[in-house]
Amino acid sequence: MGASSDGNEDARTNFEKMRDFVRKKTRRPIDDYYDWVPRPGTQFCIHMTIRSIQTAAVVGSVLGPVSALLMHRTDKKDLVEAFRLGGLHGAMVGAALGPVISLATCKNMNRVRKFQNLVKSKFDQSQLWQDHIAIASAAVGYMSNGQIGLVVGLDLSLLFAVITRNW
Protein backbone atom coordinates (compact mmCIF):
# COMPACT_ATOMS: atom_id res chain seq x y z
CA MET A 1 0.00 0.00 0.00
CA GLY A 2 1.50 3.26 -1.07
CA ALA A 3 0.81 6.57 0.60
CA SER A 4 -1.75 8.56 -1.32
CA SER A 5 -1.07 12.26 -1.53
CA ASP A 6 -4.56 13.05 -2.82
CA GLY A 7 -6.18 12.60 0.58
CA ASN A 8 -3.62 14.78 2.34
CA GLU A 9 -3.93 17.54 -0.23
CA ASP A 10 -7.72 17.53 0.07
CA ALA A 11 -7.47 17.78 3.85
CA ARG A 12 -4.95 20.60 3.59
CA THR A 13 -7.07 22.42 1.03
CA ASN A 14 -10.16 22.12 3.23
CA PHE A 15 -8.18 23.27 6.24
CA GLU A 16 -6.83 26.29 4.35
CA LYS A 17 -10.32 27.15 3.11
CA MET A 18 -11.67 26.98 6.65
CA ARG A 19 -8.76 29.06 7.97
CA ASP A 20 -9.34 31.70 5.29
CA PHE A 21 -13.06 31.76 6.05
CA VAL A 22 -12.43 32.27 9.78
CA ARG A 23 -9.80 34.92 9.05
CA LYS A 24 -12.18 36.87 6.83
CA LYS A 25 -14.96 36.74 9.41
CA THR A 26 -12.75 37.90 12.29
CA ARG A 27 -10.80 40.63 10.53
CA ARG A 28 -11.31 44.28 11.26
CA PRO A 29 -12.82 46.36 8.43
CA ILE A 30 -9.50 48.17 7.90
CA ASP A 31 -7.87 44.83 7.10
CA ASP A 32 -10.04 44.41 4.00
CA TYR A 33 -8.29 47.39 2.44
CA TYR A 34 -4.92 45.74 2.93
CA ASP A 35 -5.92 43.32 0.20
CA TRP A 36 -5.78 46.32 -2.14
CA VAL A 37 -2.66 47.79 -0.58
CA PRO A 38 -0.54 45.04 0.98
CA ARG A 39 2.43 47.14 2.17
CA PRO A 40 1.42 50.73 2.90
CA GLY A 41 4.70 51.61 4.58
CA THR A 42 6.77 50.56 1.58
CA GLN A 43 4.60 52.40 -0.90
CA PHE A 44 4.61 55.53 1.28
CA CYS A 45 8.42 55.28 1.43
CA ILE A 46 8.65 55.08 -2.36
CA HIS A 47 6.40 58.13 -2.73
CA MET A 48 8.41 60.12 -0.19
CA THR A 49 11.69 59.12 -1.83
CA ILE A 50 10.53 60.29 -5.25
CA ARG A 51 9.49 63.63 -3.76
CA SER A 52 12.76 64.07 -1.89
CA ILE A 53 14.79 63.24 -5.02
CA GLN A 54 12.85 65.84 -7.00
CA THR A 55 13.18 68.51 -4.34
CA ALA A 56 16.86 67.90 -3.66
CA ALA A 57 17.64 67.89 -7.40
CA VAL A 58 15.98 71.29 -7.79
CA VAL A 59 17.82 72.68 -4.77
CA GLY A 60 21.11 71.27 -6.05
CA SER A 61 20.58 72.58 -9.56
CA VAL A 62 19.94 76.06 -8.16
CA LEU A 63 22.76 76.05 -5.62
CA GLY A 64 25.31 74.63 -8.09
CA PRO A 65 25.38 77.66 -10.42
CA VAL A 66 25.07 80.03 -7.45
CA SER A 67 28.19 78.53 -5.91
CA ALA A 68 29.96 78.71 -9.28
CA LEU A 69 29.08 82.41 -9.55
CA LEU A 70 30.34 83.04 -6.04
CA MET A 71 33.66 81.43 -7.01
CA HIS A 72 33.82 83.77 -10.03
CA ARG A 73 33.40 80.98 -12.58
CA THR A 74 31.14 82.81 -15.03
CA ASP A 75 31.97 80.83 -18.15
CA LYS A 76 28.87 79.22 -19.68
CA LYS A 77 30.47 75.78 -19.69
CA ASP A 78 31.32 76.07 -15.97
CA LEU A 79 27.77 77.15 -15.11
CA VAL A 80 26.24 74.25 -17.03
CA GLU A 81 28.66 71.85 -15.35
CA ALA A 82 27.77 73.30 -11.94
CA PHE A 83 24.07 72.92 -12.77
CA ARG A 84 24.58 69.29 -13.77
CA LEU A 85 26.75 68.36 -10.80
CA GLY A 86 24.57 70.24 -8.33
CA GLY A 87 21.43 68.54 -9.60
CA LEU A 88 23.02 65.08 -9.58
CA HIS A 89 24.46 65.50 -6.11
CA GLY A 90 21.14 66.85 -4.90
CA ALA A 91 19.30 63.86 -6.38
CA MET A 92 21.72 61.49 -4.67
CA VAL A 93 21.22 63.25 -1.35
CA GLY A 94 17.45 63.09 -1.89
CA ALA A 95 17.66 59.37 -2.67
CA ALA A 96 19.57 58.81 0.57
CA LEU A 97 17.32 61.02 2.69
CA GLY A 98 13.98 59.85 1.24
CA PRO A 99 13.79 56.55 3.15
CA VAL A 100 15.10 58.26 6.30
CA ILE A 101 12.40 60.93 6.08
CA SER A 102 9.66 58.40 5.46
CA LEU A 103 10.93 56.19 8.30
CA ALA A 104 10.94 59.18 10.65
CA THR A 105 7.44 60.09 9.49
CA CYS A 106 6.07 56.55 9.86
CA LYS A 107 7.89 55.71 13.08
CA ASN A 108 5.18 56.93 15.41
CA MET A 109 2.24 56.16 13.14
CA ASN A 110 -0.13 53.35 13.88
CA ARG A 111 -1.41 50.99 11.21
CA VAL A 112 -4.57 52.96 10.48
CA ARG A 113 -2.71 56.27 10.11
CA LYS A 114 -0.20 54.67 7.71
CA PHE A 115 -3.08 53.35 5.67
CA GLN A 116 -4.76 56.78 5.59
CA ASN A 117 -1.56 58.37 4.28
CA LEU A 118 -1.24 55.66 1.69
CA VAL A 119 -4.84 55.98 0.52
CA LYS A 120 -4.28 59.69 0.20
CA SER A 121 -1.21 59.11 -1.97
CA LYS A 122 -2.28 55.91 -3.77
CA PHE A 123 -5.84 56.74 -4.77
CA ASP A 124 -5.26 60.43 -5.44
CA GLN A 125 -4.87 60.35 -9.19
CA SER A 126 -2.99 63.64 -9.37
CA GLN A 127 -0.28 62.40 -7.01
CA LEU A 128 -0.02 59.12 -8.88
CA TRP A 129 0.41 60.97 -12.15
CA GLN A 130 2.99 63.27 -10.61
CA ASP A 131 5.04 60.29 -9.40
CA HIS A 132 4.79 58.59 -12.78
CA ILE A 133 5.71 61.79 -14.60
CA ALA A 134 8.74 62.26 -12.36
CA ILE A 135 10.07 58.82 -13.19
CA ALA A 136 9.23 59.10 -16.89
CA SER A 137 10.69 62.59 -17.33
CA ALA A 138 13.91 61.62 -15.57
CA ALA A 139 14.21 58.50 -17.75
CA VAL A 140 13.46 60.32 -21.00
CA GLY A 141 15.80 63.15 -20.05
CA TYR A 142 18.61 60.74 -19.28
CA MET A 143 18.10 58.81 -22.51
CA SER A 144 18.03 61.97 -24.60
CA ASN A 145 20.79 64.09 -23.06
CA GLY A 146 22.51 62.05 -20.38
CA GLN A 147 23.03 63.49 -16.93
CA ILE A 148 21.97 67.02 -17.79
CA GLY A 149 18.72 65.64 -19.22
CA LEU A 150 18.12 63.71 -16.00
CA VAL A 151 18.48 66.87 -13.92
CA VAL A 152 16.29 68.92 -16.27
CA GLY A 153 13.67 66.14 -16.29
CA LEU A 154 13.54 66.04 -12.49
CA ASP A 155 13.37 69.82 -12.26
CA LEU A 156 10.57 70.06 -14.82
CA SER A 157 8.60 67.26 -13.20
CA LEU A 158 8.68 69.05 -9.84
CA LEU A 159 7.67 72.29 -11.53
CA PHE A 160 4.78 70.43 -13.18
CA ALA A 161 3.79 68.90 -9.82
CA VAL A 162 3.74 72.29 -8.10
CA ILE A 163 1.75 73.92 -10.89
CA THR A 164 -0.86 71.16 -11.12
CA ARG A 165 -1.27 70.65 -7.37
CA ASN A 166 -3.98 73.28 -7.02
CA TRP A 167 -5.97 72.26 -10.10
DSSP string across 75-97:
-HHHHHHHHHHHHHHHHHHHHHH
Residue 7 confidence (pLDDT) above 90: no
Average pLDDT, the chain: 81
Stronger pLDDT, 25 or 7, i.e. the higher one: 25
Chain segment 117-161, per-residue pLDDT in tens:
777 766 667 777 888 899 999 999 999 989 999 999 999 998 988
pLDDT of residue 15: 74
Residue 116 CA to residue 97 CA, distance in Å, equals 23
Instruction: Give me the pLDDT at residue 154, please.
Output: 92
* CA–CA dist 43, 122 (Å, integer): 8
Q: What per-residue confidence (pLDDT) applies to 104?
A: 86
Whether the CA torsion 140, 144, 147, 152 is positive or negative: it is negative
Q: CB under 8 Å to 145, separation ≥6 — which residues? A: 152
Res 1: pLDDT: 47
Structure confidence by residue, pLDDT tens digits, 53-109: 999 999 999 999 999 999 999 899 999 999 999 999 999 999 999 999 988 887 877
CA distances from 27 to 34, 116, 119, 122 (A): 11, 18, 19, 23
Percent of the chain with pLDDT over 90: 43
Nearest to 94 by CA among 61, 52, 60: 52
Half-sphere exposure of 35 (CA within 13 A, CB side): 7
